[in-house]
Structure 1
Amino acid sequence: MAWRSPEISRLNGQLSVPAGGERAVADAWLDAHRETLLWKCGGLTAGQLRSRCVEPSSLSLLGLLRHMAEVERDWFRTRFAGERVPYLYCTDDDLSAEFDVDGADAEADHATYLAELDAVRRTVAGRSLDETFTDPRRGITMSLRWVYTLMIQEYARHNGHADLLRERLDGATGH
């Protein structure tokens, strides 16, 4: 039987802390966006995930999943924590390689995304949103709070793309 992306139940985690502290709210919203992307991919075959079905865009759900794994790693682990971890899909010569999904292994890429989320959660556990770092690319000081805000907007934008891709693939809608 062909692999399909696991279907998930949406937990609406952001609603679990509507009056919580700043960190709890930030974590809940970021996890809600991560969950939304997985939900949009749920139940689809590898071929459907690779499909670039909103022409002329070259976006696919698998490309978005790979992109967000790369972005999570880059901002939280490489830039914030200073880990020396390699790119997942990109190269110095092709910083958009994560979107090239023609020969991609959707099952492996799905697992990579989940593993990266686990690694990121370990990286930020117990760290203050006020903690700062110097972005090696820009040479400016940023806070973990800024990274959370960046990631929430990044997911919000790409989850909008995921909505359109999923609706085009099989008519499924919802947020």
Structure 2
Amino acid sequence: MTWTAPTRERRETPAAAGERAMLQGWLDFHRDTLLAKCAGLTAEQLARPATPPSTLTLLGLVRHLAYVERCWFRQRFAGEDVEALYVTEDDADADLHALDPARAAADHAALRAEIAACDAVAAGRDLDETFTAPGGRTLNLRWVYVHLIEEYARHNGHADLLREALDGTIGT
């Protein structure tokens, strides 16, 4: 049986809320959007570049966002000693192009698991809590939320185009 990415409904964004709820709401909305763009596609479709000569794929975006979530929330902000997802010293972009459709279900599950782990790390932490990022910059948790919202929003634009090119679906 061929694996197909499950349906994902997008949560509503808060219309009027405090800063923390607003940041979490928009991040959740963009997370849901990426997963919704993948819904109903087979592993092979998710791994197929849809707009040559670009090699960008929806599966690559799923893997990339799992990597980015872990990197910023868990490794950098929380200082957890967890290895990077997908990338290696030899291939810093393996998250985007070292794809195996046979692993699509596992990669999809890894993003969902990473989202849960990152939410757990950030829960109850003050948005003003700081950490030192690579290059010596002092950043705070608020910055991580804003950066992840930007990262998802940018890549969701790519996902829109990829999905439309794959099967004509728009507006998911």
Q: Do the two structures share a fold, i.e. TM-score over 0.5?
A: yes
Q: Which runs of 5+ in 1 are unaligned?
A: none
Aligned partners of 2:48 and 2:57 also within 8 Å: yes
Q: Report deviation, 1:33.
A: 0.2
TM-score with structure 1 setting the length:
0.95
- Distance of 1:10 and 1:22 partners within structure 2: 20
Alignment of 1:92-131 (within 5 A): 92-104=89-101, 105-131=103-129
- Distance of 2:154 and 2:10 partners within structure 1: 19
Q: Report deviation, 1:101.
A: 4.1
| 2:32 corresponds to 1:29 | no
Give the equivalent residue in structure 1 for 2:59. 62
Cα deviation, 1:130-152, whole Å, max 9, x if unaligned, reads 111111x2111101111111111
Aligned partners of 2:88 and 2:94 also within 8 Å: yes
Aligned partners of 1:7 and 1:43 also within 8 Å: yes
Q: Given residue 28 of structure 2, which amino acid in structure 1 is its aligned partner? A: D
Cα deviation, 1:33-62, whole Å, max 9, x if unaligned, reads 000000000010000000101111110000
SS at match of 1:133: strand
TM-score with structure 2 setting the length:
0.96
Q: Report deviation, 1:128.
A: 1.1
Alignment of 1:137-152 (within 5 A): 137-152=134-149
Q: Which runs of 5+ in 2 are unaligned?
A: none
Q: Given residue 170 of structure 2, which amino acid in structure 1 is its aligned partner? A: T
Distance 1:62 1:35, change over 3 A: same
Aligned pair partner of 1:89 in 78, 86, 89:
86
Number of residues paired by the alignment?
171
Q: Report deviation, 1:19.
A: 1.1
Give the equivalent residue in structure 1 for 2:153. 156
**CA root-mean-square deviation:** 1.0
Q: Report deviation, 1:116.
A: 0.5
Give the equivalent residue in structure 2 for 1:4. 4
